[in-house]
Structure 1
Amino acid sequence: MASKTHPRSPSPTPAAEQPSLLKRLKSSHISETPTSSTSDSTPHFATGLFAPTNIHRLHTEYETSAPFKHTLVEKLFQDDLLQKVKDEALAELSFSEKETDIYKVYQTGDLASLSYLSEQQIALLPSLLTLRNALYSPMFREFLRAVTGCGPLSGTKQDMSVVSYRKGCHLLNHDDVIGTRRVSYILYMPLPHYQGWQADWGGALELYPVKPRPEGLPEPEPVPEKSVPPVWNQFIFFEVQPGHSFHSVEEVVVGESEDGRQRLSISGWFHSAQPGEEGYVPEPQPELKSSREQLTSTQTDFKSYPETADPPLPDDPLSEEHVSFLSEFLNPVYLQARTMKALASRFVEESSLELHSFLCAPLADKLRTALVEKDEQDGLGPKRATRIPPHTAGSQGAWQLRGPPHKWRYGTLRPLEGGGPKMAVSPRWAHADVDDVVRSLQDELYPSTAFRAWLACVSKLLPVRHSEEARRFRPGLDYTLATSEAAEARLDVVLGLTPQVEPPQEEGSSSDREEAVPVGWQTGEWGGWECYMAPHEEEDDPAVYRSGSAKKKNGTNGTNGHAESKEEPMEDVEEDEDDDEEDDGTLLTVQPGFNRLLLVLRDEGVMRFVKYVSAAAEGSRWDICGEFEIGMIQEDSGDES
């Protein structure tokens, strides 16, 4: 719940203020029966909406709601008006596909611009203009103020659009805090109108509880507490609260081909009173950071290597002990001196490598089948009961959820009780439990001095400290948002373990089962790609300034992609100049794969994320993600710097 002492958090309306608001609403702007003194907007709202008894009821519901204060109005407008608005929006407005790390939607432009259209253009959108003017009318703003106690709202700063969530569309966890936004709202117009929206179609608004943090920054829990499915003419709103109003929109899993189904809505914000408007006061500096600001404050928990271990030198061959250890894990070709020298030369030139068939065959064979079986057991395979799994799926046993979801959400291995015991390294992988095999990669291979020496050989960099974790991104649930957690360069080492699903093969064709990738991963339809982006300076919505439109239509970069060149899409996409400029920020995208190691030298400030894994995916996206603090090696003297 929100802190009642926070200057931007809503608090219960004082007893002395609430009656005065209700009185003002009843006596001036709003009455149950329209009169000549009321705005023309009044008849367009549902009967009884502005009745004092209804306002009192909504205010009480607002104050007692959870996980944060919000209110749901079952019917906001007269139905005939909303049907006309729906028809005008579909017939006359243009919807643009927008996709970033945090969302995928189809959206119109800002409807505040309706005021600047010509008379001829306005004539095509009379109902939409009527609805917009009604929403931002003085009486409706007073209604919102009476229900929430939010303070004066602007009538001049309008912020709304029509949004269509079609198959695959989603909006991930965030708190809406940007600029002067005060109240967030959604007015639902799900299609088809004659048929009620079914819960298993997705598209529900999810509200998250928060947990306090020692440093005073509340964070959302990984699992939402409340889910609100879209219903025709339903209106939900809440006061924007830094660090509290965390919400998301569940992926829509049905398409327009199925009776024209789409989650259509009008959404936007009411802003606090602007300069020159009645009730304007300068915005206080928030005590709590918004979800956007918290994305820039992440830190990796690094571990040091044993002090007794001598740092590896670039020209030193791997010791027999190191080769023996690594042979239990790696494809022997990557332990050959000639291969490592060639890889080092390429990495120095390109700043990244993608190594196929990285693990030895027995280990790869074990993981290939066992991870598919793991998904089936946890209800995350292609035969699962619902396309969107429960939030708790796959979080039992050895795996747990990692949040907070305004930064990331995925499964990680639970720490072993007492820190051990570790699994004994053995070539007999087939007899081991798959969780133990994955844990062995995480806890034995990645932090080992042998792997450190191997990384030094192929990168010409010295790993100084290390951090690693096994990650499981469940379909319809998991992702990471774009973060920049490094003040210095980092070496990212990501071992992709996403099992392939064999695509149909034409007669007479053949495929390498180790490298085959299902069409859904390859095309980006299922999401899950790893993306690196150049730092941005704009102070804007994180869902806007991190463009993802160069994303999924890129194939894997193979061994030639690197973090200093823009990858071009594989197919033509019509975009305006602004979109092209945003695309320039995409440095590298790599699709999920099985048994592939990605090494990337990530410069200071470069952002990265794993795109949300769609519910269309036939299983989880798996990897072992390592991050290494690095030092340069002076080859002439052999000294570190």
Structure 2
Amino acid sequence: MTNRTHDRSPSPQPDSEPSLLKRLKSSHLSDPAVSSATADPTPHFAPDLFNPSNIHRLHTEYDASNPFKHVVVDKLFQDDLLQRVKDEALSELSFSEKETDIYKVYQTGDLASLNYLDEQQIALLPSLLTLRDALYSPMFRNFLRAVTGCGPLSGTKQDMSIVSYRKGCHLLNHDDVIGSRRVSYILYMPLPHYQGWQREWGGALELYPVKPVPDGMPEPEAVPSKSIPPVWNQFVFFEVQPGHSFHSVEEVVVGESEDGRQRLSISGWFHAAQPGEEGYQPEPQPELKSSREQLASTQTDFKNYPENIEPPLPTEPLSEEHVSFLSEFLNPVYLQARTMKALASRFVDESSLELHSFLCAPLADKLRVGLKDKDDADGLGPNRPTRIPPHTAGVEGAWQLRGPPHKWRYCTLKAPEGGSKMAVSPRWAHADPDEAIRSLQDELFPSPAFRAWLACVSNLLPLRYTAEARRFRPGLDYTLATSEANETRLDVVLGLTPQVDGLDTVAHNGHANGEETAPEHGWQSGEWGGWECYMAPHDEEDDPAVYRSGSSKKKNGQSTNGTNGHAQNGEVEMHDEEEDDEEDEEDDGTLLTVQPGFNRLLLVLRDEGVMRFVKYVSAAAEGSRWDICGEFEIGMVQEESGDES
């Protein structure tokens, strides 16, 4: 993939202007009781915090902690100061929504920008300024050094913001390694603080153990081993370590409408001493790669087609044998010669297609009902006992968990015991939903017949392939943005996500067989996540993973560009997408987003360097996101004359 210089966690952006203020209140005056930045910070902290015996206790706990070294300080500041900070933040600061492949949060600008405010503006934030200066004071930095043994910390390079996790907000697995960061911290101010934050509301800090892999690069386990729910005035910190300090923030599943609940916190980093500061040393090259660098090393493991089978030519029609095989799986409309010719023409122009009602009706009906029932049986349906399922949900029986979570987390099918049991025709006729999906993964996608069909509709020659059935559980699963920097690929994804409220028959233009447009809900609106996203390569100084909310990029399940086929009445109707409005045409690097759907085949010609990911599936979703994900190496077709076409 392209070089990714952006942070893998929500990092505040410096504000040279005082734009983080909502408004100026000239009538507000500074609180004379609040100490200035030059005063002794000790009175602002909890009693005995700097007591040598307390520091020794915390250091002992730090050394013995798992899954990596960290400390939880039960009370950091005086409560009255933190309450004033909370009030100032809510009344005077502006929170901006930020969303990428790895997080969704509401965040202020970098609070280092407080230095640029004039006296009148600073008068609105006296307690916040006091807290910030106390955190980065020499006394507190020495406290952190004594507990962690992390070495000299900078007092000039400050890196902190106030973050609000509201309903649906989350932060996925990463290790915080970037630049000169040395210590990561979070100070909790959950609201309403008088009530106490309940664990079932989500928002816990999750810490992950690591395991060695053959190349010697540790990777996080798929499931966290420690969960720290937010508590008022609690302070958590740890030394940032490449390949070790893997953590995430669980999705918040309650909203502001419920007693004003939000997971409010102050978070940031202490950096190593900077040039000119005492104890400065140039940053050594780390022995282990950061989670961000490990994303760049992702590669696909392809399988070869049988050598004794002649590769198909896009110009040749499907053989009777191929049509016979494919008719057991596909809607017969997509096997008509004129349909494939029309699709090929569109694909050449648009480089992507989304084909509705792709599977034959009996197979689609089996999967539609069976997958909903499976979610209910696994505690992943709309009536599950907790909004965030346990990490073990859905991984018994035929499914297993796939990580590592700093790249992806979802469920895949286990290899069948004793080989395939399906010997009848059609192959899925008497199979349960799991085996029907396995038939698509192991029989349809790798088949020479499907290879020939892909050649016909894409004018490309599939050379090697990989196919994987995937189940993304609500509140748990996702993939992060990755790419193959030097290869062009054909992505073929069969969406099998059952819709809700009768929306599974809604066609791509918002109509189902002439019915009126259905209202946006759930998957269609983007509120449940799970959308497939493609992003253009970026320059090193850009942030390649930032994009607008999926709901603004997609309407009624429509992709942002591309052409769509709808199988109706024995033929396919072709529709061009309407142009996005002026706001959506803003160049934010997003090439294509496609919301989860049922019985839809997505074909995308992915150029080298283009990144793709599946957005985290929210705990609000009323079931899993299912698909068969195929990826194909492609080649050009050599004509007999020797010319390439």
Same fold (TM over 0.5): yes
The corresponding residue for 1:60 is: 60
1:609 to 613, 625, 633: 613
Counterpart-to-counterpart distance in 2, 1:566 and 1:510? 14
- Among candidates 522, 525, 528, match of residue 526 of structure 1: 528
Q: 1:45 to 1:566 in 2, by over 3 A?
A: farther
Task: Normalising by structure 1, report the TM-score.
Answer: 0.88
Matched-pair contact (CA < 8 Å) for 2:346–2:563: no
The one-letter code matched in structure 1 to 2:333 is: V
Whole-angstrom CA distance in 1 between matches of 2:391 and 2:217: 24
Unmatched 5+ stretches in structure 1: 1-37, 574-579
Q: Give 1:24-423 correspondences, 5 Å limit.
A: 39-417=39-417, 420-421=419-420, 423=422
SS of residue matched to 1:552:
helix
* 1:199-245 deviation line (CA, Å, top 9, x unaligned): 00000000000001111111101100000000000000000000110
Counting matched residue pairs gives: 592
Say whether the 8 Å CA contact 1:521–1:591 is kept in structure 2.
yes
The amino acid that maps onto 2:617 is V
Q: Is the 8 A contact 1:502 1:517 kept in 2?
A: no
Contact 1:313 1:638 survives alignment (8 Å): no
Q: Is the 8 A contact 1:328 1:425 kept in 2?
A: no
Distance of 1:381 and 1:186 partners within structure 2: 33
Given that 1:442 and 1:470 are in contact with CA atoms closer than 8 Å, whether structure 2 keeps it comes out as yes
> Matches of 1:71 and 1:567 in 2, distance apart?
54
Counterpart AA for 2:562: G
| 8 Å CA contact 1:362, 1:427 repeated in 2 | no
Alpha-carbon distance between aligned partners in 2 of 1:422 and 1:351, rounded to the nearest angstrom? 37
Q: How far apart are 1:93 and its partner, in Å?
A: 0.2
Distance 1:300 1:359, change over 3 A: same
Mapped to 1, the partners of 2:46 and 2:420 lie a distance apart of 65
How far the C-alpha of 1:519 sits from its partner, in A, is 1.0
Q: Is the 8 A contact 1:93 1:108 kept in 2?
A: yes
What amino acid is the match of 1:438?
I
Structure 1 counterpart SS, 2:363? helix
Check 1:131–1:442 CA distance in 2 against 1; reply closer, same or farther (3 A cut).
same
- 1:136 deviates by 0.1
Deviation by residue 1:441-487 (Cα, 9 ceiling, x = unmatched): 00000000000000000000000000010000000000000001352
Alpha-carbon distance between aligned partners in 2 of 1:79 and 1:288, rounded to the nearest angstrom: 40
CA distance in 2, matches of 1:285, 1:187: 30
Instruction: Provide the C-alpha distance between the structure 2 equivalents of 1:422 and 1:557, rounded to a whole number of angstroms.
Output: 38
The normalised TM-score by structure 2 is: 0.88
Shift of 1:566: 12
Task: Tell whether the 8 Å contact from 1:501 to 1:518 is kept in structure 2 after alignment.
Answer: no
SS of residue in 2 equivalent to 1:260: coil
Q: Percent identity?
A: 82
Query: Which one of 575, 588, 595 corresponds to residue 591 of structure 1?
Result: 595
Structure 2 distance, partners of 1:524, 1:571, is 20
Question: How far 1:560 moved relative to its partner?
Answer: 5.5
Question: Equivalents in 2 of 1:510, 1:288: separation in Å?
Answer: 52
Report 1:503-522 matches (<5 A). Answer: 519-522=521-524
Residues 210 and 274 from structure 1, CA distance in 2 versus in 1: closer, same or farther, beyond 3 angstroms? same
CA distance in 2: counterparts of 1:82 and 1:415, whole angstroms: 54
Distance 1:123 1:129 in 2: 10
How many Å separate the matches in 2 of 1:545 and 1:162? 23
Quick one: structure 1 residues 637 and 620, their matched pair in 2 at CA, closer, same or farther if it must change by over 3 Å?
farther
Q: Quick check: 2:99–2:549 contact (8 Å CA) kept in 1?
A: no
Q: Which residue of 2 aligns with 1:492?
A: 491
Distance 2:42 2:631 in 1: 59
Is the 2:561–2:592 contact (alpha carbons within 8 Å) kept by the matching residues of 1? no
Q: Secondary structure at the match of 2:551?
A: coil
Aligned AA (1:593): G
CA contact (8 A) 2:359 2:599 kept: yes
Letter aligned with residue 404 of structure 1: P
Cα-to-partner distance string for 1:86-124 (whole Å, 9 max, x where unaligned): 000000000000011000000000001111111010000
How far apart in 2 are the matches of 1:237 and 1:110?
19
Deviation at 1:552, TM superposition (A): 2.9
Contact 1:203 1:230 in 2 (8 A): yes
Which residue number in structure 1 is paired with residue 457 of structure 2?
458
1:619 maps to 2:610:
no
1:369/1:570 CA distance change after superposition, 3 Å:
farther
Give the CA deviation at 1:426: 2.3
Which residue does 1:471 correspond to in 2?
Answer: 470
Query: How far apart, CA to CA, are the structure 2 residues paired with 1:566 and 1:190?
Result: 44
Give the deviation of 1:401 after TM superposition.
Answer: 0.6
Give per-residue Cα distances to partners, 1:479-521, cap 9 Å, x unaligned: 000001352100000000000112599xxx9956999797111
Corresponding residue of 1:535: 537
What CA deviation, in whole Å up to 9, does each residue of 1:329-360 have, x standing for no partner?
00000000110000000001110000000000
Q: What code does the residue aligned with 1:206 have?
A: E
Q: CA deviation at 1:639?
A: 7.3
Report if the CA contact (8 A) 1:355-1:559 is conserved: no
Closer, same or farther: CA 560–336 of 1 in aligned 2, 3 Å: farther
Deviations 1:172-194 (A, max 9, x none): 00000010000000000000011
Q: Deviations over 1:372-392 (max 9, x none)?
A: 000000000000000000011
Measure, in 1, the Cα distance between the counterparts of 2:540 and 2:332.
47
Structure having the larger proportion of residues in helix: 1
User: What residue number does 2:4 align with?
Assistant: none
Distance 2:146 2:264 in 1: 28
